[in-house]
């Protein structure tokens, strides 16, 4: 029957990526196809099953080797029952992913949200391999989070664990409103969206900055300007890094992870950004909770989701 | 051989309490003796072993039924190796508790800090029985914390998980210095010490309050005055409850527990205090993360430590 293998489905708004992992979280093979979300949940799940079968058509692995299938999906879910409660990206409400995929593929299916699954991917086969206590932050359009404690993905009573973008870290008097309905959430300052918002504000306020000459501003523009010494951009980058450092300090007395993994588009700013984050984390975290802790970049990039989804049967 | 039983040792600065639990976390029998910390670690651990033997002398249970022994100790510890790194209360530094007690009692020994163990006690046999995702706050001299996720005690990479008294929740401009070396920690405002500090400050600042007539102020005095409508006392209680509510809101997007259990001397203020905490928690927590979540008083009181210590072999 050969070694056990694990199937991951990374179900995004545009693309579905499916992949095979071995028991060590090494990605053996992937296949990608369109999501076609406009045709509804049933169609999207049929596509997912079809892409998994196509993936198998292209490998020497046998379907009998599959231990289970995991799916990472953007939105809120009822994890134990495998339901997606709400996915704005896919336009889904109360979709029985587990039941539908199990019927189509005949294997046990587990689900979790995309940020948790990406964290699990890094923990299993990426920057956290071999580390039992780990937290991932993904700095993209929003800020995603994922927590691995005692080698297991922390999902919470209602699947809301690891929603670290909504840690309230910004004081009231300078808090920005968040999509979640609250103010002062981490993702209002440390996401690409937050960085762009702060840059546009600075330009609108008449700050002297090279960013004011740009037609539209990206988070990368702000990082690049900061690296070149633009004082306004530097202030914005420091603000984004300060609140991420504060969130990490909070996590150090909560989960006390050995490692923080930072991924997503914003993290591409590299060593320059990581040094600033590390500086604020060291300043803010309680001494005993930061000893032996490091902050490293994610390594799996776009594969984290599919690897983590595959890992749900081992660590979910 | 009879049912399996679990031995707990709650090692405090003055008293050592030892107890027996069944597999459901029900406390069957306890024995208490003096710690005699002044005679050093070896003596204290000999006392602990002697009290466990005396406990067995008084029961019909057989030593062969013991699955393992757990010890809850105030301080910082290396949990996997069973070392106490530092315990100011006991005057210990680098004490091999696991090795010493295993040699004396011939059973497997696990250790953890007193706050984590108390949380585990409530989770196993107290206010959280049957709940897999749970957070305890103990509002005493300091603020202790303990996290149960997926039915297991979260201990962290270096035993610093669940140190929730050191969550940074108070904004810089009104932050009070904490014993840990940082400012703005939860325990500076929500512990008995914090409440007394705020009351003394108010009196010193000339606030109109019944507290100014007292020779010394306790946290209970402040609670009682608040219940009678003293505006200064009400403000202090609201401040303590607000920051606890903020800490709970942070935990709801991190661990997403189903229940918060609040114990310790301050919690004795009862329903009056719990309503205020609940109010701020609901206001501050992200909507989806607070659904179905409740906040309840601890029920085991002084037994939480010994029950939780006994539970370390099942959930540690």
Question: What are the tens digits of pLDDT across the range A262-304?
Answer: 999 999 999 999 999 999 999 999 999 999 999 999 999 889 9
What distance in Å separates the CA atoms of residue B129 and residue B315, rounded to the nearest whole number?
13
Q: Are residues A111 and A140 part of one domain?
A: no
Identify the CA nearest to B70 among candidates B136, B151, B124: B124
In the structure encoding, which two tokens stand for residue B212, read together? 């100014």
The per-residue pLDDT for B89 is 87
Which residues of chain B are within 8 Å of residue A150 when distances are taken between CB atoms?
152, 154-155
Our CA angle for B71, B76, B79, nearest 5°, is 55
The answer to whether residues B189 and B245 belong to one domain is yes
For chain B, how many structural domains are there in total? Answer: 2
For tokens 């951009």, the residue is: A233
- List, for residues A159-207, the tens digit of each pLDDT value: 999 999 999 999 999 999 998 889 999 999 999 999 999 999 999 999 9
Q: Are residues A182 and A225 in the same domain?
A: yes
Residue A288 in contact with partner chain B when CB distance is under 8 A: yes
Tell me the residue range of the domain where A179 lies: 130-299
Same domain, A158 and A244: yes
B115 and B28 in a single domain? The answer is yes
3-state secondary structure of B243: helix
**Please, what sign has the CA dihedral across residues A154, A158, A164, A170?**
negative
CB contact under 8 A, B254 and A158: no
The pLDDT, as a whole number, for residue A1 is 61
Is residue B2 over pLDDT 90? no
Residues B135 and B79 grouped into a single domain: no
Tell whether B81 and B178 lie within a shared domain: no
The complex's ipTM works out to 0.93
Per-residue pLDDT averaged across B8-30, rounded?
95
B118 and B177 both lie in a single domain? no
Model confidence, pTM: 0.94
Could you give the angle at the alpha carbon of A124 between the alpha carbons of A123 and A128, nearest 5°?
A: 35
CB distance from B154 to chain A under 8 Å? yes
- Note the pLDDT tens digit of each residue in B200-246: 999 999 999 999 999 999 999 999 999 999 999 999 999 999 999 99
Q: Do residues A276 and A311 both lie within one domain?
A: no
Average pLDDT (B6-32) is 96
For residues B56 and B40, state if they share a domain: yes
Q: Between vectors from CA B51 to CA B46 and to CA B52, what angle results, nearest 5°? A: 100
Contacts of A244 in chain B (CB under 8 A): none
Across the interface, of B152, B163, B289, the residue whose CB is closest to A150 is B152
A159, A166, A286: residue with CB nearest B286: A166
- A36 and A139 share one domain: no
Q: What is the CATH number of the domain that holds A81?
A: 3.30.420.40
Residues of B in contact with A248 (CB under 8 A): none
State whether residue A182 sits within 8 Å of chain B by CB.
yes
Mark whether A31 and A153 lie in a shared domain: no
Q: What is the pLDDT along chain A (316 residues), one digit of tens a residue?
A: 689 999 999 999 999 999 999 999 999 999 999 999 999 999 999 999 999 999 999 999 999 999 999 999 998 889 999 999 999 889 999 999 999 999 999 999 999 999 899 989 999 999 999 999 999 999 998 999 999 999 999 999 999 999 999 999 999 999 999 988 899 999 999 999 999 999 999 999 999 999 999 999 999 999 999 999 999 999 999 999 999 999 999 999 999 999 999 999 999 999 999 999 999 999 999 999 999 999 999 999 889 999 999 999 998 8
Among A147, A163, A256, whose Cβ lies nearest the Cβ of B160? A256
Q: How many CB pairs under 8 A join A and B?
A: 146
**Best of A254, A286, A290, A291 to mutate (most B CBs within 10 Å, chain B):** A254
């Amino acid at each position: 029957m050969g070694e056990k293998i694990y199937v991951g489905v990374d179900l995004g708004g545009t693309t579905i990526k499916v992949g095979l992992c071995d028991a060590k979280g090494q990605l053996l093979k992937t296949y990608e196809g369109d999501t076609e979300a406009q045709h509804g949940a049933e169609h999207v799940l049929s596509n997912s099953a079809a892409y998994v079968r196509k993936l198998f058509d292209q490998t020497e692995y046998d379907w009998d080797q599959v231990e289970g299938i995991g799916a990472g999906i953007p939105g809120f879910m009822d994890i134990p029952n495998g339901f997606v409660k709400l996915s704005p990206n896919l336009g889904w409400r109360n979709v029985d992913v587990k039941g539908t995929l199990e019927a189509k593929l005949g294997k046990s299916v587990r689900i979790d949200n995309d940020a948790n699954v990406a964290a699990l991917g890094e923990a299993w086969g990426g920057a956290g391999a071999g580390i039992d206590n780990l937290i991932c932050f993904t700095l993209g359009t929003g800020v995603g989070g994922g927590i691995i404690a005692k080698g297991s993905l922390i999902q919470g009573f209602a699947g809301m664990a690891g929603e670290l973008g909504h840690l309230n870290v910004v004081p009231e008097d300078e808090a920005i409103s968040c999509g979640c309905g609250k103010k002062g959430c981490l993702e209002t300052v440390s996401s690409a969206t937050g960085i762009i918002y702060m840059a546009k504000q600075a330009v609108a306020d008449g700050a002297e900055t090279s960013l004011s000459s740009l037609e539209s501003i990206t988070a990368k523009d702000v990082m690049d300007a900061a690296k070149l010494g633009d004082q306004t951009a530097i202030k914005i980058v420091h603000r984004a890094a300060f609140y991420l450092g504060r969130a990490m300090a909070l996590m150090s007395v909560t989960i006390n992870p050995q490692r923080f993994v930072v991924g997503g588009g914003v993290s591409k700013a590299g060593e320059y950004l990581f040094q600033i984050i590390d500086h604020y984390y060291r300043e803010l975290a309680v001494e005993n909770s930061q000893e032996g802790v490091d902050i490293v970049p994610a390594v799996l990039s776009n594969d984290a989701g599919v690897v983590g989804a595959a890992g749900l049967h081992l660590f979910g």
